[in-house]
């Protein structure tokens, strides 16, 4: 005789393990974000002090304009670096969460398939049509989820390529404008 309680208990163990992984990853990612922001604040303070000291020692307008161009380019480069690092952190976190979701889905589908097989073997006579309908519905939903997952990965890859290209273009534009004003 098939015992569904054991299967559900196993699902619960897996869900608790996944929740624990997600909680640990969330804390780790929050720490990374905190360190990034703290470092950005330190850099901003240091650059502010440096630019204030440099501005205080300016002797003419040309020197002030050159100083302004230098610190503008430096500020843009710092902002781009911060944005790139933030994007990398979020992309890495998204990949980690997606990996856990994919593992959980694979485990879930495997577990449900095993439950359905065991239940169908102990099902009363004449219930073949209902069991086959459930199996068909489950297979269709699994295939739909797999297609959705593939499409999501393609969108993420396209967005990633677009963001990286935009960051590279912004970096090149900043470098070119810095050279022109120098």
Q: What is the rounded distance in angstroms from the CA atom of residue 36 to the CA atom of residue 49?
A: 20
How is residue 50 written in tokens? 């440096």
Task: For residue range 88-144, list pLDDT tens digits in order.
Answer: 999 899 999 988 988 888 888 888 777 777 777 777 777 778 878 888 888 888 888
**Is the separation of the CB atoms in 88 and 6 below 8 Å?**
no
Three-state SS at 34: helix
Whole-model pTM: value is 0.70
Task: For residue range 5-32, list pLDDT tens digits in order.
Answer: 777 788 788 889 999 999 999 999 999 9
Q: What is the DSSP letter of 126?
A: T
């Amino acid at each position: 005789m098939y015992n569904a309680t054991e299967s559900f208990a196993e699902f619960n163990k897996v869900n608790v393990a996944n929740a624990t992984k997600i909680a640990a990853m969330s804390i780790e990612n929050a720490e990374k974000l905190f360190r990034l922001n703290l470092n950005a604040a330190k850099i901003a303070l240091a650059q502010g002090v440096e630019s204030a000291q440099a501005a205080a020692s300016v002797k003419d307008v040309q020197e002030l304009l050159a100083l302004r161009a230098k610190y503008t380019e430096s500020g843009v480069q710092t902002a781009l670096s911060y944005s790139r690092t933030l994007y990398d952190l979020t992309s890495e976190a998204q990949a980690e969460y997606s990996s856990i979701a994919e593992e959980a889905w694979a485990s879930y589908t495997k577990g449900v398939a095993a439950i359905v097989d065991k239940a169908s073997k102990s099902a009363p006579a004449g219930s073949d049509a209902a069991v086959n309908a459930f199996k068909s519905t489950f297979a269709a939903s699994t295939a739909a989820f797999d297609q959705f997952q593939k499409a999501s990965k393609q969108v993420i890859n396209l967005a990633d390529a677009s963001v990286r290209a935009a960051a590279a273009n912004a970096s090149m534009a900043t470098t070119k404008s810095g050279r022109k004003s120098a």
